[in-house]
Amino acid sequence: MAGGWHSHKTLLWSSSPPAINRNNVELGSMIIEENFPLKNLNTFKIGGSARYFCVAENLEDLKKAVRFAYKHSISFFVIGGGSNTLISDGGYKGLVIKNSIKGVSFEEQKDGTTLVSAGAGENWDDLVQKTVEKELTGLENLSGIPGTVGGAPVQNIGAYGVEVGSSILSVETFNSETMVVEILSVKQCFFGYRDSIFKNPFGKSHIITKVVFSLKKNGKTNIIYRDLKEYFEKKGIKEPSVKEAREAVLLIRLGKFPDLNETGTAGSFFKNPIVSEEFFKKLSKKFLDMPFFPAGEGKIKIPLAWILDKVCNFKGKCFGSVCFYEKQPLVLVNTGGAKAKDIMEVSEKIIALVKEKTGIEIEREVQFLK
Ligand code: NAP
Which residue CA neighbors atom 6 of ligand 1 most closely? 303
Give the residues surrounding ligand 1 with Cβ less than 6 Å away: 1-2, 145, 157-161, 224-227, 256, 267-268, 272, 293, 301, 303, 305, 328, 365
Decide if 48 contacts 92 (C-beta within 8 A). yes
Cα–Cα distance for residue pair 166/142, rounded to 1 Å = 12
Dump pLDDT digits (tens) for 163-186. 999 999 999 999 999 999 999 999
Residues in the chain, how many? 370
Within 10 Å of residue 336's Cβ, how many Cβ atoms? 9
Which residue CA neighbors atom 12 of ligand 1 most closely? 303
Q: How far is the CA of 160 from the centre of ligand 1 (A)?
A: 6
- The pair phi, psi for residue 23, each rounded to 5°, is -95, 165
Which residue CA neighbors atom 42 of ligand 1 most closely? 1
**192 contacts: CB under 8 Å, gap ≥ 6:** 156
Q: Which atom of ligand 1 is nearest to the CA of 306?
A: 5
Cα–Cα distance for residue pair 234/242, rounded to 1 Å = 18
- What are 136's strand-pairing partners? 217
- Segment-wise mean pLDDT, segments of 10 residues, the chain, 370 residues: 43 45 79 95 96 97 97 96 95 97 97 97 98 98 97 96 98 97 98 94 95 95 96 97 98 94 93 97 97 95 97 94 94 94 97 98 95
Q: In angstroms, what CA-CA distances link 255 with 194, 246, 251, 347?
A: 23, 15, 7, 24
Cα–Cα distance for residue pair 267/281, rounded to 1 Å = 30
Decide if 320 contacts 342 (C-beta within 8 A). yes
Of 149, 268, 302, 328, the residue with max ligand 1 atoms within 8 A of its CB, to mutate for a pocket test, comes to 268
Closest CA to 128 of 206, 237, 211: 211
Q: How far is the CA of 305 from the centre of ligand 1 (A)?
A: 10
Predicted confidence at residue 22, as pLDDT, reads: 57
Q: H or E element: which one contains 240?
A: none
Decide if 182 contacts 172 (C-beta within 8 A). yes
Closest CA to 87 of 24, 42, 127, 55: 42
Q: Which atom of ligand 1 is nearest to the CA of 158?
A: 40
Under DSSP, is residue 264 helix (H, G, I), strand (E, B) or coil?
A: strand
Cα–Cα distance for residue pair 335/319, rounded to 1 Å = 10
Q: How far is the CA of 222 from the centre of ligand 1 (A)?
A: 13
Which residue CA neighbors atom 38 of ligand 1 most closely? 1
Alpha helices in 112-241 (DSSP H): 124-133, 151-154, 226-235
Q: How far is the CA of 298 from the centre of ligand 1 (A)?
A: 20
DSSP state of 120: T
Predicted confidence at residue 218, as pLDDT, reads: 86
Which residue CA neighbors atom 23 of ligand 1 most closely? 160
- The pair phi, psi for residue 311, each rounded to 5°, is -95, -45
**Which residues are catalytically annotated?**
194, 268, 365
Of 194, 222, 293, 362, the residue with max ligand 1 atoms within 8 A of its CB, to mutate for a pocket test, comes to 293
**137 contacts: CB under 8 Å, gap ≥ 6:** 215, 216, 217, 218, 219, 220, 221, 242
Decide if 93 contacts 17 (C-beta within 8 A). yes
- The pair phi, psi for residue 264, each rounded to 5°, is -80, 115
Q: How far is the CA of 158 from the centre of ligand 1 (A)?
A: 8
pTM tops 0.95, yes or no: no
Predicted confidence at residue 305, as pLDDT, reads: 97
Q: Which atom of ligand 1 is nearest to the CA of 291?
A: 7
The C-alpha R_g of the chain, in whole angstroms, comes to: 21
C-alpha triplet 183, 132, 245: angle, nearest 5°: 120
**202 contacts: CB under 8 Å, gap ≥ 6:** none
Which residue CA neighbors atom 7 of ligand 1 most closely? 303
